[in-house]
């Protein structure tokens, strides 16, 4: 039988013990996008969406989500985040979302970056859904993971 890091000898789920690993500076960058109609992007740029400033709300939601990753993903470790940044690139038919998360810890911070992007995208969807029923979230991926 294969050994799984998140299962104990009896097959029950467990959190991996990272206590033996050294603390290191760790950074992860994730990205994704939400595809919209050009009219939705125009309304976003003009701050004319019915629910208000979607980018500011999505930025705050993404940062808050990254900070809450251990509460959302059952076996993730709670990490002391030193930095979380959510940035947007607004194109003609899509908004690219980028999240950078950093910590000094014994385990990586990629789940926090991915969670930040995911929740920021969901928040944009919520903030713009009355204006655009065709939106789709796509391509959420880890771009970079480093440790020093």
From the list 131, 122, 134, the residue with the least C-alpha distance to 57 is: 122
Instruction: Yes or no: say if 38 and 132 are a contact pair by the CB < 8 Å rule.
Output: no
Catalytic residue among 8, 17, 87, 126: 126
126 is catalytic: yes
- The number of beta carbons lying within 10 Å of the beta carbon of residue 49 is 20
DSSP secondary structure letter of residue 76? P
Phi first, then psi: give them for residue 108, nearest 5 degrees: -70, 170
Enzyme catalytic residues: 126
């Amino acid at each position: 039988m294969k050994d799984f890091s998140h299962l104990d000898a009896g097959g029950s789920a467990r959190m991996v013990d990272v206590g033996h690993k050294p603390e290191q500076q760790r950074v992860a960058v994730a990205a994704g996008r939400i595809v919209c109609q050009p009219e939705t992007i125009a309304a976003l740029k003009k701050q004319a969406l019915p629910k208000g400033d979607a980018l500011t709300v999505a930025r705050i939601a993404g940062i808050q989500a990254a900070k809450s990753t251990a509460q959302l993903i059952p076996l993730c470790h709670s990490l002391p985040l030193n930095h979380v940044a959510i940035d947007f690139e607004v194109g003609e038919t899509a908004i690219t979302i980028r999240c950078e998360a950093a910590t000094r810890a014994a385990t990586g911070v990629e789940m926090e970056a991915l969670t930040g992007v995911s929740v920021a995208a969901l928040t944009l969807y919520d903030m713009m859904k009355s204006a655009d029923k065709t939106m789709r979230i796509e391509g959420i991926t880890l771009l970079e993971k480093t440790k020093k």
